[in-house]
Chains A and B, each alone.
Chain A
Amino acid sequence: MSAFLDLLAATLMLLGVALAVVAGVGLLRFPDLYSRMHAATKPSTLGLLLVLAGAALQLADPGDAAALLLVAAFQLVTAPVAAHMVGRASYRAGTPGTRTASIDELRDVVEREAREQREEDGE
């Protein structure tokens, strides 16, 4: 049983680390910010969850596993929020996207918002 748990923990941790390496490669190789975020932000939830699950199997004290559970829950809540805020902020700050993207549906919304804001200020 113990050997099985060791194997399971090692597999989970190795999978999580593989995702971390993929995130690093994507971060370095992709051409613009938004595709880099696409590569980097997904492993930061699933990859960390896998590593934490593997570590929890190796720790004898249930209190330690509880701390890992806390971190996992926190990461699940905060990682998407942080990624969303970075994406929103950099789009509105005018960070260029990839040249091959053909549709930008957000531009109309942002421009309309800016126009309404100007009209309000002008009144």
Chain B
Amino acid sequence: MTGATTVCLAGLVVAGLLCVARLVAGPTVPDRIVALDTLLFVIAAGVAVAAARTGEGTYLAILVVVSLLGFVGTVTAAKFVERRQP
């Protein structure tokens, strides 16, 4: 089981780095919003895999917070983009 979770975590690191690359490259604000949203999804998946790896449920509160944060942040930033142009 530990081997499988190691592969999972390695894959998530790759996915996270790809998201960060898009976050840095942009070029527009919505591109960065989508990249951040995907990055938060990767982080949530990483927390879930870590919980499965250790068998401990202590991390799961973080999972709820991360998924809430992703939604609120994305919607707020989208509203900001929509309002900025007349």
Q: Interface on A for B, CB 8 Å cutoff? A: 6, 9-10, 13-14, 16-18, 20-21, 23-25, 27-28, 33, 36-37, 40-41, 43-44, 47-48, 51-52, 54-55, 57-61, 63-64, 67-68, 70-71, 74-75, 78-79, 81-83, 85-86, 88-90, 92-95
Interface residues of B in 1-18 (CB under 8 A from A): 1, 4-5, 7-8, 11-12, 14-18
Which residue of A6, A20, A25, A83 contacts B1 across the interface (Cβ within 8 Å)?
A6
CB distance from A121 to the nearest CB of B (A): 12
Which residues of chain B have a CB within 8 Å of any CB of chain A?
1, 4-5, 7-8, 11-12, 14-19, 21-22, 25, 28-31, 33-35, 37-38, 41-42, 44-45, 48-49, 51-52, 55, 57, 60-61, 63-64, 67-68, 70-71, 74-75, 77-79, 81-82, 84-85
- Residue in chain B with minimal CB distance to A6: B1
Q: Which residues of A contact B82 (CB under 8 A)?
A: 88-89, 92-93
Q: Are B4 and A14 in contact (CB under 8 A)?
A: yes
What residues of B have a CB within 8 angstroms of the CB of A6 in the complex? 1
- Closest residue of chain B to A90, judged by CB? B30
- When distances are taken between beta carbons in the complex, the residues of chain A under 8 Å from B44 are 48, 71, 75
A residues less than 8 Å from B81 (CB atoms): 86, 89-90, 93
Are A58's CB and B38's CB within 8 A? Answer: no
Decide: B19 and A48 in contact? CB cutoff 8 A.
no
Residues of B within 8 A of A78 (CB): 67, 70-71
User: What number of residue pairs across chains A and B have CB atoms under 8 A from each other?
Assistant: 178
**Complex A-B, nearest 6 residue pairs according to Cβ-Cβ distance, in ascending order:** A24-B18, A64-B57, A10-B4, A90-B30, A89-B82, A24-B15
Q: Is the CB of A36 within 8 A of B42?
A: no
Tell me which of B8, B21, B34, B44 has the highest count of chain A C-beta atoms within 10 A of its own C-beta.
B34
